[in-house]
């Protein structure tokens, strides 16, 4: 990352980009092609959710986009009470439409930065956070968000995170970033690689996997584990 935190994209700039990309994100298989193994991660999260969620459970999807994560969980679990949060109103509208059609028991939407959300203590059975936490900025943002997640969850509730996760060892990060660049070239050529790298540098502030797991422990989560890792992407869950 070369762009300082103070010069990262504003919320309005991020919102505008996603407002214009609803159609692409509405495809379960190809909607997040810049994320390696996105369909596999959707499957792993949904199938793991099915081991602890029951119909009528309450799910919060942070940065829900067009609703793909919630849709996959609905397929595995059945009727759920769904809270969908995203910066983009067009994304939220599409997500609500798809999730209602997918069999949700109820749907509520929140057009909001996740840092501005508030839910009662112990009111959420499951939090889904797919490719959204990288928009948090400094350590204060990250700590406050994880503390909120812990507060909102019911006892035994879980959060599932799928996101960019850098390597703390520079040689490993250089190797994996290079492999990711070649993956992007394989699906869209050099111009596509440059485009994705540019908006990651401008918009995102990811943290390493050890940073995030340590923060879970510090914020009171009882257990956590990694479901999947490939290149600079990781998927993990934590239990309150």
CATH topology of domain 5-239: Rossmann fold (3.40.50)
CB 105 within 8 A of CB 77: no
pLDDT in tens, 158-197: 999 999 999 999 999 999 999 999 999 998 899 999 999 9
Please tell me the predicted confidence (pLDDT) of residue 22.
60
Mean pLDDT of the chain: 91
pLDDT in tens, 142-164: 999 999 999 999 999 999 999 99
Alpha-carbon distance 238 to 161, whole Å? 9
Q: Does residue 222 surpass a pLDDT of 60?
A: yes
Instruction: Give the global pTM.
Output: 0.92
Q: Does residue 32 surpass a pLDDT of 90?
A: no
Tell me if residue 109 falls in helix, strand or coil.
strand
Please tell me the predicted confidence (pLDDT) of residue 26.
53
For the chain, percent of residues with pLDDT exceeding 90 = 78
Structure tokens that stand for 131 in this block? 């490719």
Q: What mean pLDDT is predicted for residues 107-114?
A: 96
**What residues contact residue 213 under an 8 Å CB cut-off, 6+ apart?**
224, 236
Domain layout of the chain by residue ranges? 5-239
**What residues contact residue 114 under an 8 Å CB cut-off, 6+ apart?**
62, 63, 85, 132, 135, 145
For the chain, percent of residues with pLDDT exceeding 70 = 93
Q: Does residue 198 surpass a pLDDT of 80?
A: yes
Q: What mean pLDDT is predicted for residues 46-64?
A: 97
**122 phi/psi in degrees, rounded to 5:** 65, 30
Q: What is the CA radius of gyration of the chain?
A: 17
Q: Does residue 19 surpass a pLDDT of 70?
A: no
Tell me if residue 215 falls in helix, strand or coil.
helix
CB 132 within 8 A of CB 110: no
**Beta bridge partner(s), residue 71:** none
Alpha-carbon distance 230 to 191, whole Å? 23
């Amino acid at each position: 990352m070369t762009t300082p935190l103070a010069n990262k994209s504003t919320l309005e700039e991020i919102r505008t980009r996603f407002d214009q990309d609803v159609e692409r994100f509405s495809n379960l298989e190809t909607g997040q092609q810049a994320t390696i193994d996105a369909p596999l991660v959707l499957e792993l999260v949904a199938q793991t959710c099915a081991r602890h969620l029951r119909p009528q459970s309450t799910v919060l999807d942070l940065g829900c986009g067009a609703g793909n994560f919630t849709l996959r969980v609905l397929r595995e679990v059945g009727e759920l009470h769904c809270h969908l949060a995203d910066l983009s109103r067009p994304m939220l509208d599409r997500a609500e439409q798809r999730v209602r059609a997918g069999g949700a028991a109820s749907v509520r939407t929140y057009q909001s930065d996740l840092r501005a959300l508030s839910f009662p203590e112990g009111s959420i059975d499951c939090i889904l956070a797919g490719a959204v936490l990288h928009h948090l900025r400094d350590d204060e943002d990250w700590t406050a968000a994880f503390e909120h997640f812990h507060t909102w969850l019911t006892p035994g509730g879980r959060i599932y995170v799928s996101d960019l996760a850098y390597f703390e060892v520079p040689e490993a990060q250089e190797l994996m970033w290079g492999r990711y660049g070649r993956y992007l070239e394989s699906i869209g050529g050099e111009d596509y690689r440059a485009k994705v790298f540019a908006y990651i540098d401008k918009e995102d502030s990811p943290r390493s996997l050890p940073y995030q797991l340590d923060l879970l422990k510090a914020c009171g989560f009882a257990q956590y584990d990694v479901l999947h890792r490939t290149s600079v992407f990781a998927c993990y869950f934590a239990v309150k």
